[in-house]
Every structure is written in C-alpha cells, then in structure tokens.
Amino acid sequence: MSLFEYSPAPESRTVVDIAESYDLFIGGQMVEPQDGTRFKTISPSTEEVLAEVAEAGERDVDAAVQAARVAYTRVWSRTSGRERGKYLFRIARLVQERARELAVLETLDNGKPIRETRDVDIPLVAAHFFYHAGWADKLGYAGLGANPRPLGVAAQIIPWNFPLLMLAWKVAPALAAGNTVVLKPAETTPLTALAFAEICQQADLPAGVVNIVTGAGETGRLLVEHPDVDKIAFTGSTEVGRLIAASVAGTAKKATLELGGKAANIVFDDAPIDQAVEGIVRGVFFNQGHVCCAGTRLLVQESVVDDVIDSLKNRLGTLRLGDPMDKNTDIGAINSAVQLRRIQQMSEVGEAEGATRWSPACTLPERGFWFAPTVFTDVAQTHRIAREEIFGPVLSVLTFRTPDEALAKANNTPYGLSAGVWTEKGSRILWMAQHLRAGVVWANTFNHFDPTSPFGGYKESGYGREGGRHGLAAYLVADETEVSA
C-alpha cells in the first residue's frame, strides 16, 4: 500500500530527435542496406512505432567486416595506445554530454524506467569508456607480457536488457586493446547503438573502427559465421550461446559467452531484514527482472522466512509500476510481447506445479507490455520456476535450515553467474563466497556493477570475463616472440 501519492513527473521527450528511418553504420558512414529490408522498433510501454531500422543481410555484414578489417590493418592496430586512449576518453565525455538524451532514448526503446537509465545505465556506459581509456596505454600490465597484441576484428552481439551498457561492455575493451568491431544490437532495442554511431563520428573515430549492423537473429548468425572475424563476444540466451559455441568449434575464432543465470540470493537469520529486503527487491525487480544475474531464487533461513516475506510484501506494495518516462516509476514495461508471453507462461507453470503466487495490487496500463511484480512461495527445487531463467519480475522463494543446505541448494543449478549472501558474519560470507559456484558473489548487497570488476559465469552461464583486467585480456594475446624468448 502506498504511503502517499506522487504527482506524475514525466521526463521530457524533446531532448531526443528520433529519425523516421535508420541505415547501417559501416566504414564511418550511415549506408543503406544492400537488400533494402527494414523493420520497425516500437516503444514497449505504448506500442508506438519509434522508427524503421535497416536489417543487415549477408552483403551488409560482409561489408561491415571488411570495413573493420581494413581499419584494423591500416589504422587501429598501428595507432599507439596513448592515441587510442584519447579517442576513448572523448567518447566517454560525449556520452556524459549526451547523457540525458541517451537515457530518454533508451527508456523509449527499451521500456525501462528513466530513473534507471539516467542513474545506472548511462553513467555506467561513460564509466566503462573512462576505465578502458585508462588501460589503452598500459596493456603491458594486463598480465600478458610487455607487448600484448590485439586479436583483430571482433564480432559483438548484445541483448535488449541493457542495450547501450552492453555495447559499452563490448566496445570499450575491444578498442582499448586495439581491435576493431562489428556490433549487432538486439532487434527490439537498436536506437541507442545508432546514437552511439553518431558519437563515434563526433569523436572523429577513424572510419571502420566501429561498425554497427542492425537486424534480427539471422544478422547475428551471419556475423558469427563470417570467416574473417577473429573474436566473438556474445551476451544473450544459453540456447544461442550453444549455437555460437558449436559454430566456432574447430575454427581459430576466440569467443566469450555471457549467458543466462538463476542466481540464489541467500538470507541468513542474522541478516538485517530491512536491508536484505531492499537487496531482494533490487536483485529481482530492478530492470523488470530482465537481468542475467538477477537474484531470482530467494533462499531464506526457515526461522525468519515469515518476517522476510511480510516485509517483502509490504515493500512491493510501495513500488510504482507504469509510464517508464515518469521519474517516480520503479517498474517499467516488459521489453516485448514475446518476452511478456514467456513470463506469463512460466508463471502459469509455477501455479500449475503447486507454488503459491502473489502480486501487490496494481493496475496495469492498457497499452504496452506489463507484468506485475510476482512472488512465488511454497516453491520446490524441482519446480521449473526454480530451475529455469524467466527473465522477468518473478521471484521464487525457497527455505533452508543450515549453511550447508543453503549452499547445496544455491549450487543446484546448471547456471553459475551470480549469488548474494546476507549475514552479519564475515566468516560466513567468506566461506559461502568460496564455495558458491558463481562468477560474482555479492555480500549484503546485490546487482552492483563496476567496470573494474570482472563479470562472467560458470557452467551454462558461459565462459570468459568482461570488465577489469580479465575482461581486457579477452581481447588480447601475448606476443609469441616474447613468450619464447
């Protein structure tokens, strides 16, 4: 129940100019697709068509890879780290200057609340470019010898949950290390990547160092399978990750895959309940639950489960769902009709399997794609909602009695991307962190991101790391002459 009502505080749309139609960014220019196909991108909160976007076919992907190859051979691999760093600093500053516009554009195209794009996504985008700008002339300290070399042309494929942030995670380390890139944004969220193309032009980045090909899954497949690509960096579903792993097997291409997750968020009985509840909310309802590392399996020590659930329900009653452009909104729109259907279906499965479903009273807007925050209690480990990634605002609650049981349940998943631990005891945090099979373990917090910190998974959550020195190393190779010397 709300304590008091807020008046609407909508962010202005006038800071963005959305064109009717967008071409592909190849060789430093916006170029028409060679086969002329286009698709529409819509606002998930209103279903309004925002723009038409080019769909890159085989010849377009080939032109983009060629442009990246030429830029790599003739320009970027010969540009000093110090110079590359200057371009990255320039991009970071341009992102900051255009932050409000980028936040509005992201919110319109993705459906996530303006508060998140403005305070989380876009500041982190700038932070990634700043951080990697600093690395560009210090690659000799990345742990790969004094003169590590770039890999060449990187094909980068990103999902729709953090469109510009995922672009930054991919593009910034690649460029700092001296690679050139061809990036494919997700079909439902291409607009901020196209704004980034403009930023590359504004920064005078040499032509072909960054190329952006919009399209659907088929464009992604063409890019992955292109023979002149040296490295693939992918974030998305485990299913597509498997296809990519199969496609690169037996080739010289390197790959990093950042895939799904089903993270455990573990609350011990000595945890401060109010803080833990904030962390649970942040863990699974941030970005409508469209987060690969979301804490979707809440494991609560049995003795405090009633208190935790009561506090959680009270807190969820205060969340505001609705217009993502309103600065008061906590929960925005689901990114697409397809994703909404998947969330609905998985929630129906949860009920059919015997779990108890609960949502706070909230009115869903008539147009657009919406799903109320949902909590399932009485969940068993065998239930599909406890095992499969839902990628929506849906939490499954399980209980445990001892730390060993918590650990066994947390690790009982094919995934291994992240986990959270809530307890007052430092020794328990260290013990859990040591034994949890997860790439990131947050202690008394959740969903905190920083460019200096490596992020990535175990098992079906993929391989390779992004961020920090480890992420940078995924775009470099040691100089062989140095190694043999």
Q: Is 424 a catalytic residue?
A: no
Q: Which of 57, 220, 332, 471 binds ligand NDP (CB under 6 A)?
A: 220
Number of amino acids touching ligand NDP (CB under 6 A): 25
- Residue 369 lies near ligand NDP (rule: CB under 6 A): no
The least distance separating ligand NDP from the CB of residue 345, rounded to whole angstroms, comes to 11
Contact 197, 30 (CB under 8 A): yes
Phi, psi of 371 (to 5 degrees): -150, 125
Q: Which of 167, 259, 284, 305 binds ligand NDP (CB under 6 A)?
A: 259
- Residue 375 lies near ligand NDP (rule: CB under 6 A): no
408 Cβ neighbours under 8 A, 6+ residues apart: none
| Angstrom distance (rounded) from CA 175 to CA 155 | 12
Segment contacting ligand NDP by CB under 6 A, of 38-46, 79-87, 118-126, 217-225? 217-225
Segment contacting ligand NDP by CB under 6 A, of 220-228, 294-302, 319-327, 424-432? 220-228
Segment contacting ligand NDP by CB under 6 A, of 45-53, 167-175, 231-239, 306-314? 231-239
| Angstrom distance (rounded) from CA 380 to CA 391 | 19
CA angle 479, 482, 485 (to 5 degrees): 150
Q: Is 258 a catalytic residue?
A: yes
Residue 82 CB coordination number (10 Å)? 10
Contact 369, 338 (CB under 8 A): no
Segment contacting ligand NDP by CB under 6 A, of 13-21, 127-135, 151-159, 439-447? 151-159
Q: Which of 45, 192, 235, 396 binds ligand NDP (CB under 6 A)?
A: 235
Owner of token pair 């990519």: 244
Owner of token pair 């399209």: 215
The least distance separating ligand NDP from the CB of residue 216, rounded to whole angstroms, comes to 4
Longest Cα separation, the chain: 71
Q: Which residue number, 117 or 399, has a Cβ lying nearer to ligand NDP? A: 117
Tokens coding 141: 């300290």
User: Which residues face 455 on adjacent strands?
Assistant: 466
What length is written for the chain? 485
Contact 451, 124 (CB under 8 A): yes
The least distance separating ligand NDP from the CB of residue 161, rounded to whole angstroms, comes to 5
Q: Of 258, 389, 460, 466, which one is the catalytic site residue?
A: 258
Residue 304 CB coordination number (10 Å)? 18
- Residue 240 lies near ligand NDP (rule: CB under 6 A): yes
Q: Which residue number, 194 or 259, has a Cβ lying nearer to ligand NDP? A: 259
Catalytic residues: 258, 292
Residues lying near ligand NDP in the complex (CB under 6 A) are found at 157-161, 184, 186-187, 216-217, 220-221, 224, 235-237, 240, 243, 259-260, 292, 339, 342, 389, 391
